[in-house]
Structure 1
Amino acid sequence: MHSLNAITLLLIIVGGINWLLVGLFGFDLVAAIFGGQDALLARIVYILVGLSALWQIMPLMRSFSGSEAHAQRH
């Protein structure tokens, strides 16, 4: 499970950097690499980033309810 969390976090970081580039410069790096926003590979990357964000909700909720949040407060 730890490796899946690391992979999904990495994909979220890639997505965040892509959105930073879109916001600052109007440049979609994923689309540029994979042949446009409608290209199959670009759409797969967008879907994986979105699914990664959904997956990361679980560890976030666990950190609020478990001992991890308690440890960070002290």
Structure 2
Amino acid sequence: MIARRRANPGKAVLLIAAVSLAFLAVSAAFNWGSCQWYGYQTERQTKFAPYVGCMVRTNSGWVPRTELRTTQ
């Protein structure tokens, strides 16, 4: 008779957590890089803020890049 392996749910949870963390790290690196590239292209001072995104320095202070058109 062929022996069956029992699935280990602990390993599955760890695998899903590791894949999720890897995805978050790659996503954060891409967002930071695109923010830096925007600053390089426009010759503006930029910074990446967690939970907000790319921030651009204007005369009135730091503004999220997505709201930049409404403040200019």
| TM superposition score normalised by structure 1 | 0.39
Tell which structure's C-alpha radius of gyration is larger. 2
Structure having the larger proportion of residues in helix? 1
| TM superposition score normalised by structure 2 | 0.40
Structure having the larger proportion of residues in strand? 2
**Larger RCO: 1 or 2 (CA < 8 Å, sep 6+):** 1
